[in-house]
């Protein structure tokens, strides 16, 4: 616990007294030319309350990159859920919207909500598919770039 407190204090002092920002490039985070560990990045995201979800998603894509069976199972599940949602969700929304124009029944609002939810789930499911290990690394880099951007914004806001 003392180690985490010390690390947090050092990171706070670095971010408070330095205008240099966190940079991400090809799997490594740097600050003032020093490489930061993933634990330090994790501590920074907790400290600044920024980019926590992006770190989780990036770590998930690292797992997909390392384990082919995990990636294939995720892709099959995402494709099945996304296809079913798109196949059933879009007609449900279309039917509910056209039917709501003529009849005022409260149950139809539920149908409309379910159809909209299916469409949202299908978009989310398709967006998590990574077909190749290189695709996983691209998506990891995209998420970690978002983390760096969010942390830099939080550090700038804290310095002002």
| Statement: the pTM of the whole predicted model exceeds 0.85 | no
71 and 130 assigned to the same domain: yes
70 and 122 assigned to the same domain: yes
Q: Report residue 134 CA to chain centroid gap.
A: 18
Q: Strand 22-25 to strand 28-31: parallel, antiparallel, or no bridges (unpaired)?
A: antiparallel
69 and 114 assigned to the same domain: yes
Find where tokens 């997909």 sit: 64
Count up the domains in the chain and report the number: 2
139 domain-assigned = no
Residue 79's domain spans which residues? 65-134
46 domain-assigned = yes
Per-residue pLDDT, 7: 65
Q: Quick one: which H or E segment has residue 29?
A: strand 28-31
In the predicted model, what is the mean pLDDT of residues 132-148?
90
What is the spatial distance between Cα 151 and Cα 10, in angstroms, rounded to a whole number? 16
Q: Tell which residue, 159, 156, 158, has the closest CA to residue 148.
A: 156
Of 49 and 16, more confident: 49
Tens digit of each residue's pLDDT (9 = 90 or more) over 78-95: 788 777 777 777 777 677
Q: Is pLDDT above 60 for 19?
A: no
53 and 90 assigned to the same domain: no
What is the spatial distance between Cα 134 and Cα 65, in angstroms, rounded to a whole number? 8
DSSP 21: -
52 and 69 assigned to the same domain: no
């Amino acid at each position: 616990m003392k180690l985490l407190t010390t690390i947090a204090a050092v990171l706070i002092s670095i971010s408070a007294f330095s205008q240099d920002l966190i940079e991400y490039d090809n799997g490594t985070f740097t600050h003032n030319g020093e490489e930061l560990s993933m634990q330090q990045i994790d501590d920074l995201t907790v400290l600044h309350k920024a980019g926590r979800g992006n770190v989780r998603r990036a770590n998930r894509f690292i797992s997909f990159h390392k384990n082919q069976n995990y990636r294939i199972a995720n892709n099959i599940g995402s494709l099945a859920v996304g296809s079913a949602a798109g196949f059933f969700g879009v007609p449900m929304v279309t039917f509910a919207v056209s039917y709501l124009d003529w009849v005022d029944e409260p149950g139809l609002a539920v149908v409309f909500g379910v159809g909209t939810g299916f469409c949202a789930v299908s978009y989310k499911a398709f967006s998590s598919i990574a077909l190749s290990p290189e695709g996983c690394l691209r998506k990891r880099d995209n998420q970690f770039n978002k983390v760096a951007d969010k942390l830099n914004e939080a550090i700038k806001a804290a310095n002002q």
